[in-house]
Structure formats: C-alpha cells, structure tokens
C-alpha cells in the first residue's frame, strides 16, 4: 500500500542518446512506454499524490466551480448565422455537457435579423441536426471535428473523437430523412469540403506521424473502399488542407509547411476534375487563395514580410497583380471575399483589426473600436451575396460580443453579448468595475514588449497584489485580449491578470515571430522574464506574489523561465507543457516532428541547432536550485505534446531539486485540450485556480 502523502519517486533506467558527439543519459526515458504497467502505475501514483496535497482545497474548488456556474447562463442560444435557406445555431441546456446543433428555416429569404429567444429556449420550427450529449453518451470523452453542411442544405458531414487522440470517424447524415448513411470513414483529420451539388465529399487522412497528407474524394452512396486519392503530399514538412470557397465555386486543396505553401483548385461543379495549381511552391513563400468573381485573390509574402494582397485571373492564374501593397508594420492575415466587398483581417500596433474594401477600391478603411485594447475577428459568414459581415469582438473587460456590420451604412449591429450572471455577492456584472491597461516592458536587447492587464478597480498598485502572468510565444499565434468568466473569481479576490505578448507570437507583425523562433527562440523566454520584472518594478505585483501560466508551447515557456529566472515567480502552472523539446524533435517517428523543424530547427542535421535547443530545453537544464512551486497538467492521449514530457520533467525536478513543491496531474482519458465537457472543463479550471490562490495566500 502506497503512502499518498509522499511524493512518488520514479525509478531510474539509464538510456543513452548520442548526437553530434554529445552523449546524454536520460534516466526517465522509460516513461515514454505508454503501455508499460509501471508507467501507468506511476501516473496514477502522481495523481493520487496531487489529490492528497490539494485535498485541503476541495472546498475552495467547489466554491470556484460554483462561481463559474453561477455566472454562466447555462441554457443559452448562440447567434444564428445564415446559410442558404436556413438559420444555423447551437444551444446549451443546463445540466448538459455539450452543445446541440440546430437550424430553423427562414420565413423570408430577405430577412437579415437573426431569430432569438431571451431564455435560450429552442426556436420555433427547430430541427436538431446533432446532439452532442446523445453522441457522447457512454463515453468519458467526446469532441466534434467536422461539421459541414452541403451547399444545398441536404447533407451534413460530421466527425467524432471519443478518446482525445484527434483521430476522427467521419459520417454523413441525410438531413431530409434524418438517416445517418452507411458512408463511414475512420481515422480522418479535420477538414472537409462538399461539391456544389452535395453529392461528393472531400476529406483528409493522416500518415503514421499524424501528418495530414492525403485528400480523398468520396461519392455519397458508394462504398468508402472506392474513394479516390485526389492529392498526396510526399514532403514530410508539409501538411494538407481542404476547403470550399465562400462563393461555393471552388474547392481549395492547400499544402503548407511552416514557411512555404501551395494551393490547387477544383471547380465545385466538376469535382472529378484534376486539381489546377495556382502557383508552384517556392521555399519561404507563403500564399493563400480566395475566389472573388472573375479572379482569385492571393494573400502572399513574396517580397512582402507582412504580406500584401494581389489577384490573378481565374481563367489563367499565371501573374499576380498587386491590389493592396505591402506596408511594413501592418500584418495582413487573411482576406474574406463577399460579392460587393472584401474584408481584410490585419494586425497593427499589437492589436487585431478589420479593413473594409468596397468593390473596385484599393484603399478602403479600417474599422474603429472604442476600447484601447481588444480582439476582433471575422465570425461565421457563409453568405457570398450579403450586405452584412458577422464579426466577434471581446476585450479583457467586455464579454464576447457578436455583431453584424452593415457594409452600406457602416453601422455595427450588436446581435448578442455573452451574458454574465450575478456573482456570489448577488451584484450584476459591470465592466466598469474593472480596468484594463496596456504596458510595455523593456527586453534585454532594448525591444519594447507589450503587456495587457486587467484588475478590479481598487486593487492596490503597491506590489502587494498577486498576479497571474500568461504567455505563449510560438507559431506566430497571438494571445489577443479575451474575456473570461472563471477569471472573475481571481480578480474579485484581488488578483491582477496579465498577458505577455512576447516574441515568437504574431502580435507585432511577422518580424515579431521571426525574432522568437529557431536560433532566436531564447528571446521568447527573456521577453517573458522582462515582463515579469516590469510588473514587479511598476508595482503591479512582486516576485513572491507572481504566478506564471502557459500551455503547450507556452508550457515550454514555463519550463524555460523556471530555469532562467526561478526567483521571478512564486508559482508556475504548466499545462500540456512541451518541456522535453529536444528529445521529441530528435525523433522523426513522433507525431509532427518533421513538420516542426522549420519552427525549432533540425537538431538531427545541425549541431548548432542541437546545442541551442539543449541550452534552453527545460528537461535538459533542471538544476539543484530553489524552483517556484510547479503544477504540471497533461493528458494521456495527447498526440501534440506527449504525456511523458511533463512526467519526465517532474520526475527529474524531484530528483534534482527535491525540496521543491511539484505536482503532476494527468487526465487519463483526454487529449491536448483537456476534458471535453464544459462542466468537466470548469472543474479543471477550478482546480488550477484554487491551487493558484493557495500559492498566493488567498485560499480562504
């Protein structure tokens, strides 16, 4: 019988790894054997230890979960979006974990105001397309991959995953009869596209290392064994995708690596046609394609670091003519085409934005929003002939809001703001009770790094307030400000929440990403430390009150800053953390590895990359120092960051710096995103929040 009050001690089984003349002994490599009974026993022992060490927080966890639930309108209705002759939407019902996917017919094709019910009840004439709760019945985990309505509205392609490993089973439902057809394909990936008549479905499958590499064509009603490979990508650095243009005229077959892309098109009314290449791939050139009338729109970075918009003829797509020229500092991210307007999603001065280009114009205008920091992005827009553009807006103080933008008048029509119900004190939520700020930290090399912050008004700025500093900093992903109901429970207890917009992300344009990848990756980590130090110097918090948090590649960040500046933080939350990157990137048989070489470098082939990665890898650099308290969370079925990375990391921390406070919590039936149901996700968040509050002395 084990003593759950004592930290588990992982056995040591020396395993040698030699590259570029460097031999490393990894005592915990055996933990990568997922089916080894010793591995499973160790994970269960860690979970038991974590539960024992946090048992005193059980009441607080329940309280926090209750606060999340109390503030959430559990029975709710999303804003319906138009597609064909229907309004589509989702519903949630109090007590149920998953959304219900529905539609209602339009009474009039000219109607533009989406239907709504004040209490989240079903709309009149509702048709339930899928009930996530019914699909999930009998399963510990459930997530939906594809949800794709055919252009004629008669069929639904959907896919399901019941383990969290992101291997989806694809099915087709006939919406006229309600019958799920026998056309079933296992082990598919995200991404589907219908032909114009809804008789042909394109889908993706992955290779042995989980790389989507094949596009298939399936004719509805025929055996899936007769499906045809439309495109296969042989280069292991590239993955493929498939999509239907908003005009519904073309199917896009996209191939891309981290820095290079290539697109082919198939007329949607001729689905058996050979895919036509828009432009051959050139190393380092990225481009995307959208259809607009007689032309294809091309968003590209050929000689344009922050991208420019060009166009080419549908009939002869050989040359690109510039439409919106490159402007350094304004990163063009995507273009959405409508019959009479284009909408460009862009990034400027660390903020997301939207630019409207009426047909025939090249300058257009940028939409303006009242708050100093915010996030805005294009939402569900399936209509090509429309005068309205659906967008989604939020900030640290403004709950997620859905608008329709009238392209003719410039009016923003608020369709819905996510309800926030009164908290435990019975008071209505008021954004005016909170304040958000933008600060700038100074990095080691003089670079100014933006920080977004929120606090409840009245929270002192004398160094006494505890703070959570969140970061990511990889893959050009921007951590734009977002509203969070669970975060209110921390703010109302006197905590500050901050987001460090560090290099490696995309907040400040393409150069911001380039300066935080490959052999510049350490800028990501030093930027985060600079943000932490700035918050302390400015009186927002102090090192003994500061908690760092990040997940996935942001978990790598957590492990790196724990080694780089352990005394800058009192605690660290590392979720599904990529803390053993060198071991993983050295193994091309692991999921995604070869595709990742253009992000991190190839340590197999390049001794300089090997040495650089080894110098910052959290697992490689655990030292006998005083670390902050660490909570590491992972999932056994995660295919993106394998469970054994945080498991090995915690084992080495305990062996090397045994006086620390290290906890490992492994979800035994989930994937990269953690628990799938909303109540389970809230409980997971309450667990982390309770631990954070405990570490800063607010667990009362």
Active site residues: 552, 638, 672
- For the CA atoms of 56, 60, 62, 63, the dihedral, rounded to the nearest 10 degrees, stands at 160
The rounded distance, in Å, linking the Cα atoms of 559 and 43 is 20
Q: Report the SS3 class of residue 502.
A: coil
Q: What's phi and psi for 596, nearest 5 deg?
A: -85, -10
Cβ neighbourhood burial of 225 (10 Å; 0-12, 13-18, 19+): exposed
Write a three-state SS string for 131-172: EHHHHHCCCCCCEEEEEEECCCCCEEEEEEECCCCCCEEEEE
- b/e 480-496 (16+ beta carbons within 10 angstroms → b): bbbbbbbbbbbbbbbbb
Q: Are 69 and 682 in contact (CB under 8 A)?
A: yes
Q: Is 395 helix (H, G, I), strand (E, B) or coil?
A: coil
Among the residues of 302-352, which ranges form H helices?
A: none
Q: Which residue has the tokens 């969290």?
A: 164
Beta strands in 338-495 (DSSP E): 341-348, 351-358, 365-366, 375-378, 388-394, 401-406, 412-417, 434-442, 448-456, 467-470
d(CA 229, CA 203): 10
The DSSP result for 203-229, as a single string, is EEEE-TTS-EEEEEEEETTS-GGG-EE
Question: CA 55, 59, 62, 64 torsion: positive or negative?
Answer: negative
Report, in this order, helix, strand and coil percent for the chain, each rounded to 5: 20, 35, 45
The tokens describing 161, both together, are: 């995953």
């Amino acid at each position: 019988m084990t003593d759950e009050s004592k930290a588990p001690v992982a056995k040591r089984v020396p395993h040698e790894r030699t590259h570029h003349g460097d031999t490393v002994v990894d005592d915990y490599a055996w933990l990568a054997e997922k089916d080894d009974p010793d591995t499973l026993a160790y994970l269960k022992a860690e979970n038991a230890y974590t539960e024992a060490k946090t048992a005193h927080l059980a009441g607080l966890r329940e309280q926090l979960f209750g606060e999340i639930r109390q503030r959430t309108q559990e029975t709710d209705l999303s804003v319906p979006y138009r597609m064909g002759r229907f309004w589509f939407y989702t519903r949630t019902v109090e007590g149920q974990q998953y959304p219900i996917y529905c539609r209602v017919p339009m009474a009039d094709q000219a109607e533009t105001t989406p239907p709504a019910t004040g209490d989240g009840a079903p709309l009149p004439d509702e048709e339930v397309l899928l009930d996530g709760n019914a699909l999930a019945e009998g399963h510990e985990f459930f997530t939906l991959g594809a949800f794709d309505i055919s252009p004629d509205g008669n069929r639904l392609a959907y896919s399901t995953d019941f383990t969290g490993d992101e291997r989806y089973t694809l099915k087709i439902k006939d919406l006229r009869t309600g019958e799920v057809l026998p056309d079933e394909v296992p082990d598919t990936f995200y991404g589907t596209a219908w032909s114009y008549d809804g008789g042909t479905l394109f889908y993706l499958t992955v290779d042995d290392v989980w790389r989507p590499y094949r596009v298939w064509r399936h004719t509805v009603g025929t055996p899936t064994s007769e499906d045809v490979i439309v495109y296969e990508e042989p280069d292991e650095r590239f993955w493929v995708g498939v999509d239907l243009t908003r005009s519904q005229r073309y199917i896009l077959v996209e191939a891309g690596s981290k820095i290079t892309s290539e697109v082919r098109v198939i007329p949607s009314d001729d689905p058996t046609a050979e895919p036509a290449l828009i432009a051959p791939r050139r190393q380092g050139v990225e481009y995307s394609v959208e259809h607009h009338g007689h032309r294809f729109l091309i968003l590209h970075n050929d000689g344009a670091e922050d991208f420019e918009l060009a166009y080419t003829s549908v009939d002869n797509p050989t040359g690109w003519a510039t439409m919106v020229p490159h402007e350094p500092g304004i990163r063009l991210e995507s273009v959405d085409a409508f019959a009479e307007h284009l909408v460009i999603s862009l990034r400027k001065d660390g903020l997301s934005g939207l630019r409207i280009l009426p047909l025939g114009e090249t300058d257009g205008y940028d939409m303006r929003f009242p708050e100093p920091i915010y996030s805005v992005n294009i939402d569900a827009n399936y209509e090509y002939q429309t005068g309205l553009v659906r967008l989604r807006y939020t900030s640290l103080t403004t709950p997620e809001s859905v608008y329709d933008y009238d392209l003719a008048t410039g009016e923003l029509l608020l369709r819905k703001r996510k309800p926030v119900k009164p908290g435990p004190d019975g008071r209505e939520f008021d954004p005016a009770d909170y304040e958000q700020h933008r600060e700038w930290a100074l990095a080691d090399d003089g670079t100014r790094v933006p920080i977004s912050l929120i606090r409840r008004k009245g929270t002192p700025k004398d160094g006494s307030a505890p703070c959570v500093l969140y970061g990511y900093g990889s893959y050009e992903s921007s951590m734009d400000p977002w509203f969070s109901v669970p975060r209110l429970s921390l703010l109302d207890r006197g905590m500050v929440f901050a987001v460090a917009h560090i290099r490696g992300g995309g907040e400040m344009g393409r150069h911001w990403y380039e300066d935080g990848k490959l052999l510049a990756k350490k800028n990501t980590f030093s930027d985060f430390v600079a943000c932490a130090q700035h918050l302390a110097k400015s009186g927002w918090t102090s090192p003994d009150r500061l908690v760092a948090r990040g997940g996935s590649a942001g978990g790598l960040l957590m492990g790196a800053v724990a080694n780089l500046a352990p005394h800058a933080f009192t605690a660290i939350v590392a979720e599904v953390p990529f803390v053993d990157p060198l071991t993983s990137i050295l193994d091309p048989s692991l999921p995604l590895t070869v595709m990742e070489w253009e992000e991190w470098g190839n340590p197999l082939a390049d001794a300089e990359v090997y040495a650089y990665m080894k110098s910052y890898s959290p697992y490689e650099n655990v030292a006998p120092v005083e670390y902050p308290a660490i909570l590491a969370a992972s999932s056994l079925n995660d295919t993106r960051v394998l469970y054994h990375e945080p498991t090995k990391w915690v084992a080495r921390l305990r062996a090397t710096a045994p006086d620390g406070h290290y906890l490992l919590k492994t979800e035994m039936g989930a994937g990269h995103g953690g628990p799938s149901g909303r109540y389970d996700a809230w409980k997971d968040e309450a667990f982390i929040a309770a631990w954070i509050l405990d570490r800063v002395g607010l667990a009362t």
